[in-house]
Amino acid sequence: MAGVKIFDTTLRDGEQSPGVTLIPEEKLAIAKQLAKMKVNVIEAGFPISSDGDFNAVKMVAENVKGVEVAALARCRKSDIDRAWEAVQHAENPRIHVFIASSPIHLEYKLQMSEDEVLNNAVEAVKYAAQYTDNIEFSAEDASRTGTDFLARLFKAVIDVGAKVINIPDTVGYAVPSEFGQLIKDVKEKTPNIDQAEISVHCHNDLGLAVANSLAAIENGASQVEVSVNGIGERAGNAALEEIVMALYTRQDYYNLDITQDTTQIARLSKLVANSTGITLQANKAIVGANAFAHEAGIHQDGVIKERTTYEIMDAKTIGLDHNKLVLGKHSGRHALKDFLEKYDYELDQESFESFFKRFKDLADKKKNVSNADIIALLDNELYDYEKIYEMEYISVLTGKGLLPTATVRLKKEGEIIQSAACNGDGPVDAIFQTINELTGIEDIKLMSYKIDAVTEGKDALGEAFIAAEIDGKIFTGHSSQTDITEASAAAYIEAINKYLVYTKNK
Ligand code: KIV
Ligand code: ZN
């Protein structure tokens, strides 16, 4: 059975979402999860755009195996050199060059003729070919470009070595039947198309990115460019989880082989939401909190009698079996190791021992520990980045008629620093003010602060999530603990640490 290649651009187009900043270590954690899900290509970034992006692409290329890694470049030698420098050590590196092709972009943005664009594209592909034969060429704003020019352009770049030609609906203007027809026309009009793969890259301005991508697949596209949770420029890109689950659930219709591991979807989605600070609407398809919830009595009754009456997908297929109680305070190292293996977490001996201790602490506080609890604890340490500040101690005094006061002790590069007690409007504000004073970073604007219970019950772990604006960029922090003040402080410190790592990288 034929398949469709999944090209994930969460780390490139997704990172172009307004306000999103990911440090290289966050990108690496996301890339590893994408590889676990078995996407075919990871577009790790646009190396010429900043040193941080260059480092992130390099880190992903050097550390993530079993997947192609792509780096984006404009049709310029300096971009291509930088892209190659960053991506060259990947197991299978790809250079992705692009230039706009539509009349509106040619006239107003590039001020170039069609022939000039074509020559530029040909020169860029030839230049990239000295490094690799894995070259993708994108005609930006292709959906607003005439098919005659598109076919001429694609023929020319395929002649000099492009192996993938990408047809982006850059501004999300296309509608499904028209976009499907465009793919068909390009296929028919490009004489050497059998030497290249057809890819599509759809934006979601009209909410049609997934529908357009699926229409393209039906008309001959064999690669789709997607992002986790559909994040990306403006309204975002086609959502990875929606495309994969549509192809999986409707295999009877599409008749395509799905090689991705769908059970990694829930974890991947949460990781991206936590790292980017772009949270999900409850009714978001596949990964929203309500995607598998039933409210109407008739529906609940139906599902109890037979799940498939109202569910076309099983939550387990996307990796949601989180309420299962798995371990308790009598569980030993062996049981925990089995769990980690089953869920594909790799910890070295030292990290395992310290994680085992944290698990035991939790099991002492909670009678039964669920999958979700353990995964939440593991998620506290997803990013292996330089932790400039670490929390040593925290105490908060609060109550009716009392001025909330916090005392915090942090460790900075091995040295203990302790604050005098600071006040705040509430206990959490008092903690944050105290941390500001200790770190000397005062100009922090809290954009989002949320506390959630990881599972049900009064002994549930509290999960704190923070998005903070520091120096005009947004950094996120996340932590799950039995004490929500501790979780809040840890999440706040994580956001500050990421800011400091980002500044260092810059
Ligand atoms: O939307 C777009 O056209 C892009 C290209 C760079 C592929 O992101
Ligand atoms: Zn795009």
Same domain for 160 and 240, yes or no, is: yes
Supply the pLDDT for residue 323: 57
Task: Answer yes or no: is 348 a known binding residue.
Answer: no
Same domain for 189 and 202, yes or no, is: yes
Decide if 384 is inside a domain.
no
Decide if 297 is inside a domain.
yes
pLDDT band of residue 403 (cuts 50, 70, 90) is very high
- For residue 312, is pLDDT > 70? yes
What is the average pLDDT across 422-444? 92
Using one digit for the tens of pLDDT, what is the confidence trace for 201-219? 999 999 999 999 999 999 9
Same domain for 71 and 165, yes or no, is: yes
Under a CB-based contact definition with an 8 Å cutoff, are residues 217 and 224 in contact? yes
Average pLDDT value over all residues in the chain = 93
Supply the pLDDT for residue 297: 78
Decide if 340 is inside a domain.
yes
Determine which residue's CA is closest to atom 5 belonging to ligand 1: 140
Task: Answer yes or no: is 299 a known binding residue.
Answer: no
Same domain for 91 and 116, yes or no, is: yes
Query: How is residue 280 written in tokens?
Result: 């999900």
* Pocket lining: 14 vs ligand 1, CB cutoff 6 Å: no
What is the average pLDDT across 105-131? 98
Give the percent of the chain with pLDDT over 90: 72
* Pocket lining: 477 vs ligand 1, CB cutoff 6 Å: no
pLDDT band of residue 449 (cuts 50, 70, 90) is very high
Supply the pLDDT for residue 1: 73
The conformational region for residue 106 under phi > 0 = left, psi -120 to 50 = alpha, else beta, is alpha
Same domain for 130 and 270, yes or no, is: yes
Decide if 138 is inside a domain.
yes
**CA 457 – CA 325 distance, rounded (Å):** 13
Going from the Cα of 6 to the center of ligand 1, the distance in angstroms, rounded, reads 16
Per-residue DSSP letters for 123-184?
HHHHHHHTT-S-EEEEEETGGGS-HHHHHHHHHHHHHTT-SEEEEEETTS---HHHHHHHHH
Domain of 84, in residue numbers:
2-276
Going from the Cα of 49 to the center of ligand 1, the distance in angstroms, rounded, reads 15
Same domain for 248 and 121, yes or no, is: yes
Boundary of a domain, candidates 330, 352, 379:
379
* Pocket lining: 140 vs ligand 1, CB cutoff 6 Å: yes
- 133-142, 277-286, 479-488, 494-503: which has the highest mean pLDDT? 133-142
Boundary of a domain, candidates 347, 379, 411:
379
Under a CB-based contact definition with an 8 Å cutoff, are residues 223 and 238 in contact? no
Same domain for 426 and 467, yes or no, is: yes
Task: Answer yes or no: is 237 a known binding residue.
Answer: yes
Supply the pLDDT for residue 368: 74
Determine which residue's CA is closest to atom 8 belonging to ligand 1: 13
Per the model's pLDDT, the better-predicted residue between 419 and 311 turns out to be 311
* Rg of the chain (C-alpha set): 25
Under a CB-based contact definition with an 8 Å cutoff, are residues 451 and 484 in contact? yes
Under a CB-based contact definition with an 8 Å cutoff, are residues 184 and 167 in contact? no
pLDDT band of residue 493 (cuts 50, 70, 90) is very high
Task: Answer yes or no: is 203 a known binding residue.
Answer: yes
Which of 12, 13, 16 best tests ligand 1's pocket when mutated (most atoms within 8 Å of CB)?
A: 13
- For residue 324, is pLDDT > 70? no
* Pocket lining: 7 vs ligand 1, CB cutoff 6 Å: no
Under a CB-based contact definition with an 8 Å cutoff, are residues 121 and 90 in contact? no
Decide if 175 is inside a domain.
yes
**CA 337 – CA 344 distance, rounded (Å):** 10
Nearest atom in ligand 1 to the alpha carbon of residue 166 is 7
Supply the pLDDT for residue 154: 98
Boundary of a domain, candidates 276, 306, 337:
276
CATH of the domain at 14: 3.20.20.70
Supply the pLDDT for residue 46: 98
Same domain for 140 and 260, yes or no, is: yes
What is the average pLDDT across 69-96? 98
Question: Domain total for the chain?
Answer: 4
Same domain for 302 and 329, yes or no, is: no
Same domain for 465 and 393, yes or no, is: yes
CB-count burial class (<10 Å; 0-12, 13-18, 19+) for 131: middle
- For residue 459, is pLDDT > 80? no
Supply the pLDDT for residue 325: 61
pLDDT band of residue 340 (cuts 50, 70, 90) is confident
Decide if 94 is inside a domain.
yes
Same domain for 173 and 301, yes or no, is: no
**CA 28 – CA 59 distance, rounded (Å):** 7
Supply the pLDDT for residue 220: 97
Supply the pLDDT for residue 281: 93
- For residue 18, is pLDDT > 90? no
Nearest atom in ligand 1 to the alpha carbon of residue 203 is 1
* Pocket lining: 13 vs ligand 1, CB cutoff 6 Å: yes
Supply the pLDDT for residue 322: 59
* Pocket lining: 137 vs ligand 1, CB cutoff 6 Å: no
Which of 150, 201, 203 best tests ligand 1's pocket when mutated (most atoms within 8 Å of CB)?
A: 201
Same domain for 252 and 353, yes or no, is: no
Decide if 285 is inside a domain.
no
Per the model's pLDDT, the better-predicted residue between 415 and 324 turns out to be 415
Which of 9, 41, 46, 98 best tests ligand 1's pocket when mutated (most atoms within 8 Å of CB)?
A: 98
CATH of the domain at 400: 3.30.160.270
Decide if 282 is inside a domain.
no
